[in-house]
Amino acid sequence: MSLIEEETIVRIAAKGDGITESGQHHPGTVPGDRIANGAVISRGPHYVEAPCAHFERCGGCQIQHADEIALTDFVTQRVAGAARGQGIEPENVLATHLSPPGARRRATLHALRTAQGAVLGFREAGSHRIVDATECPVLADNLTRLFPRLRAFLGRFADKQPVDVMLALSDQGPDIAFTNLALEGLEATEAALDLAREAGLARLSLDQGYGPETLWEPEPVTVTLSGTVVPLPVRTFLQATPDAQDVMVEDARNWLSETRMIADLFAGLGTFAFGLSGSARVLAAEADRAAHLACKAAANRTGKSVFPIHRDLFRNPLQPDELDRFDAVLLDPPRAGARSQIDQIVKSAVGRVVYVSCNPSSWSRDATVLCGAGFKLRSLRPIGQFRWSTHVELTSLFER
């Protein structure tokens, strides 16, 4: 075999592979590692031993072998690179925020009953095979401590089809929702109630194919958003970590501190609306009915200046004459972005847009439309809320 010239890994690519200056991808490497003949010949200063025993098999994390500097650089380059790839130069790139280990308060695990008992964890990358997790340094301890109880329960009562286990932390404690789990008979139901009681769950629900049904909820389950207690419906979206949520809301507050009328689009439970309502009147538009009703209930109870409306912004975006009533717009859309709504914003008189995104690709597409209509990207903050994952997020401010 002929020798190939040695190369150095210069950055981490979008899917987590290390990449050399010549464009060669090498899984499991980080900047500074030296490569020859497709193999690592020396590790650089940014390589660390993965903290989780399941890393490399579990599909939940891709870059646990990168130190804090390499992780920060990866998140920063993914976000800033998405803008620059469209010819958009941010005037100000704020410090990248990384969520710490053990901060994640929601996740969906997968489980399967086998002859040896249940396996419970995330799936392997590119596979339906479930990695039986004994630890997870990403999740909050209050959630990982539930693994043995969940495994024992599902080993007794799950069918032979996979079960999804949605975990979330509410104000009252852990909230668990099973999907594809049918409990047959009194014994199974009583065992589920015992699980909820002994594990100190805030709520236990299951979906047997007809939508979620709550089995256990000693008191109404809530989540506190910017000091406002909001009902938490089953399986409703929450930002994955409280620390990243706080950074996002604070950015929005700083950028919109002088505005008095704000349209919060894709508002969810009111994560941003309640944070902005101290100095402004906020319209909170949301398509998911359960989230909309929870936001409305909290607004009515507290008297906050939040005015929820139930509206599908993909099919029925706010029109220019509606948007013209507002000083600013805040968007936090799903991964697909907000193309239809952006098209209406650029036709309106709105001069300030705060765009929070969980997908740099769809965000950069929408940012190109905004900039083409005279907006400038004033500020951009990369956010690594899903630690050790290639999934990155951002906050941004556009003005014209």
Please identify every residue annotated as catalytic. Answer: 358
Pair 396, 94: CB distance under 8 Å: no
Pairing mode, strands 328-331 and 261-265: parallel
Q: Cα–Cα distances in Å, from 229 out to 154, 215, 223, 299, 308?
A: 33, 23, 6, 10, 15
With residue 109 as reference, give the H or E element that holds it: strand 106-114
Query: What are the two backbone dihedrals, phi and then psi, of residue 54, each rounded to the nearest 5 degrees?
Result: -95, -5
Pair 99, 241: CB distance under 8 Å: yes
Tokens coding 190: 């009583």
Q: Cα–Cα distances in Å, from 153 out to 187, 191, 310?
A: 12, 8, 38
Pair 122, 109: CB distance under 8 Å: yes
Tokens coding 218: 């000693």
Give the chain's radius of gyration (CA, Å): 23
Pair 281, 256: CB distance under 8 Å: no
First to last CA, the chain: 59
With residue 345 as reference, give the H or E element that holds it: helix 339-345
Burial class (CB in 10 A: 0-12, 13-18, 19+), 59: middle
Q: Cα–Cα distances in Å, from 103 out to 69, 82, 149, 281?
A: 19, 26, 21, 31
The CB density around residue 32, as the number of other CB atoms within 10 Å, is 18
| Secondary structure letter of residue 280 according to DSSP | S
Pair 204, 214: CB distance under 8 Å: yes
